[in-house]
Structure 1
Amino acid sequence: MDLGLQGKSVFVAAASKGLGRASALEFAREGAEVTIASRDLEQLQQAKEEIDSATGVTVDIVQLDVNDATQIKEAIEQTITRKGRLDVLVTNAGGPPGGTFADMEDEQWQQAFEQNLLSTIRLIRAALPALQANTSGRIVNIASSSVKQPIDGLILSNVFRAGIQALTKTLSSEYGSKGILINTVAPGRIATDRIIELDSKRAQSQQISVEELQAQANAQIPLGRMGTPEEFARMVVFYGSFANTYVTGQSLIVDGGTIKAI
């Protein structure tokens, strides 16, 4: 299948590692002109070199802290100036800390709001003029399977990831007539540093080994294992591609069948 991404300008936020990096790699494999962003310049440069080497495509980088409104605006503008256009936006941000309602004060709520929901709003706002200018754009918001089912001990993520899907659904209606398709791709247990960190904390609180906790978690997944970043990224690339011409406003859960909701 031709995904229609050859020569398209793609911006991927929080792409120095994890799901963002995997998504950027898959876009580059499809021949897109990819810009990756992250606040960690050293990791960003390393990701660029690895993607360049794996694909033969030269990836651009831009340093970006998604908590900073000015940096978001400048990063998108810089991408458009370099490439002459923007066709695809992938929003992404590191997950907020785990914990329950009793653990969180206003400071944690505010930080999670800015990092995980407001950053998505700001990235889309900055990108929309360029996407509309093409009369055909794609936006993919990376969230979490908690958009369908809350995850115990992750109250901040549960609340603000759900907000991302509400934003996705609303904007799909507002901008569909302008040729912009927007969807959410939501990971379940995908083997990333984030999952390893959360598993370590849970194992410690339950006084069991990480291996035992992961075995218990994998037993709840119909496919019996965690997914890989590459498996997740392929879904991001399809929804962000121009082979996708009629799916918008949706949340795709990439979780090996864990969520039971219809």
Structure 2
Amino acid sequence: MELGLHGKTALVFGAAGGLGSAIARALALEGVNLVLADVNEASLSDKAAEFKAVGVAVMPLVWNLTDLGSIGDRFQLIEDRFGPVDILVNNTGGPPPTTAGGQPVERWHEYFQTMVLSVIAVTDRALPNMRARKWGRIITSTSSGVVAPIPNLGISNTLRMALVGWSKTLAREVGYDGVTANIVLPGRIATPRISFIDEQKAKREGRPVDEVVKESLESIPIGRYGRPEEYGAVVAFLSSIHAAYVTGSVIRVDGGLIPSI
């Protein structure tokens, strides 16, 4: 299927990580100009070289989302090279495993800024050009924990839920202007983040990691962890001309893991 994205410009956050790089690669294969944003400069350079080999224009940007004051400057760099951003992929790193109770207020403030406020501020900067041109895609990657809260991921469950409410509200505000806003939920996708969570659970419960992974696999109807490229493909479709009537939605990519309807 031709997705109609050739020559569009996408800004992908967390582009040096597992899900972000998979999303970027899926978009690269569709001929999208890529702006890769991440805090990891070394990994970012590696990914930029990888995607340039696909034959698309790539712009790596070291971008720390805790610095809200840098948003305007970063967008100016992007627009000077590619013009306005057509596709914005909000994909932030997750906090460490924590309980919901007993966390210092300062920790809540820290992750609210990096996981929620930064996403809102970046989107607000991208939206005016999208609305003016009557075309845009806002795709926010969160977690299956917003539907079925994951034990010991208290901060993640709480803050990512805020993004769901924000995205749904935004979708109603910008839909008439040809801009869509959707949430994508990864289930157990085989990334370093999932490996880390499995290892932490095993350590916390005093069990072998293999036992934790086996238990996790048994909870997934498809019987395996998802492949990052499967997640990237869903995001690429939501970015496409064919997804113009999909907005305000929460799309699960979880192999059937979430048990609720």
Q: TM-score, normalised by structure 1?
A: 0.97
Give the match's secondary structure for 1:102: coil
Do the aligned partners of 1:168 and 1:249 also contact (CA within 8 Å) in 2?
A: yes
Aligned residues: CA RMSD: 1.1
Equivalent residue, structure 1, for 2:47:
47
Give the match's secondary structure for 1:66: coil
2-side partners of 1:141 and 1:94: how far apart?
12
Equivalent residue, structure 1, for 2:57:
58
Cα deviation, 1:222-245, whole Å, max 9, x if unaligned, reads: 001110111111111111222211
Aligned partner of 1:86: which letter? V
Do the aligned partners of 1:199 and 1:213 also contact (CA within 8 Å) in 2?
A: yes
Give the match's secondary structure for 1:243: helix
Equivalent residue, structure 2, for 1:173:
172
Equivalent residue, structure 1, for 2:16:
16
Alignment identity in percent? Answer: 38
Q: TM-score, normalised by structure 2?
A: 0.97
Cα deviation, 1:166-196, whole Å, max 9, x if unaligned, reads: 1110000011111110101110111111111
2-side partners of 1:156 and 1:28: how far apart?
33
Shift of 1:147: 1.8
1-side partners of 2:255 and 2:194: how far apart?
15
Query: Structure 1 residues 173-182 or 98-107, which shifts more?
Result: 98-107
Do the aligned partners of 1:142 and 1:185 also contact (CA within 8 Å) in 2?
A: yes
2-side partners of 1:69 and 1:104: how far apart?
24
Unaligned runs of 5+ in 2: none
Aligned length: 261
Equivalent residue, structure 1, for 2:185:
186
Equivalent residue, structure 1, for 2:3:
3
Equivalent residue, structure 1, for 2:249:
250
Pairwise mapping of residues 178-257 of structure 1 onto structure 2 (< 5 A)? Answer: 178-257=177-256
1-side partners of 2:60 and 2:211: how far apart?
39
1-side partners of 2:80 and 2:154: how far apart?
39
Do the aligned partners of 1:65 and 1:72 also contact (CA within 8 Å) in 2?
A: no
Do the aligned partners of 1:63 and 1:75 also contact (CA within 8 Å) in 2?
A: no
1-side partners of 2:255 and 2:102: how far apart?
30
